[in-house]
Amino acid sequence: MNKLNISIAYEAYDQLQELNENDQSLCLKAKDALKTSYSPYSNFKVATAVRLSDGLIISGSNQENLAYPSGLCAERVALFTIGAAYPDAVIESMAITAHTDNFKIEQPITCCGACLQVMAEFERKQNKEIEVLFYCIDGKILKVKGVKSLLPFVFVEDRLAG
């Protein structure tokens, strides 16, 4: 038996103003996308803004459904929009944020496993890592380079592609 460890590298910021202008703008676009969240059941709004290599920003927000779990997370809404409308686009970075009126969110909210797997597929497709910003409104921001940092045992099976 071998005991192994996995560690990740990430950047932590205490406030939005510490980020460069592009990252600040992306976080604010994600915050703005919270307005389109359809979350009447959880009352937990999640939104993302995705920057493509040509500078275009695509936003997404969580979309719930009474027939749980028929809804979809913000990250997958945005990523599937990109896949359908911009199939050859290269994703540079994405910012994810959340809000609820029920309590104060004090730490950045991270992605679920399903969203991480979809993000990993986009990285694989474009052969380029995606920079991910987890933005806590009026709080900390975490910045990660590449989904493998968040999902180190990502599902990959090269034989399925052939």
* Residues with catalytic function: 75
Burial class (CB in 10 A: 0-12, 13-18, 19+), 106: exposed
CA 108 vs. chain centroid, Å, equals 11
Burial class (CB in 10 A: 0-12, 13-18, 19+), 132: buried
**10 Å Cβ neighbour count for 87?**
8
H-run or E-run covering 10? strand 10-13
**10 Å Cβ neighbour count for 77?**
23
Q: Roughly how many angstroms between the first and final C-alpha of the chain, as a whole number?
A: 34
Residues 106 and 144: beta-carbon distance below 8 Å? no
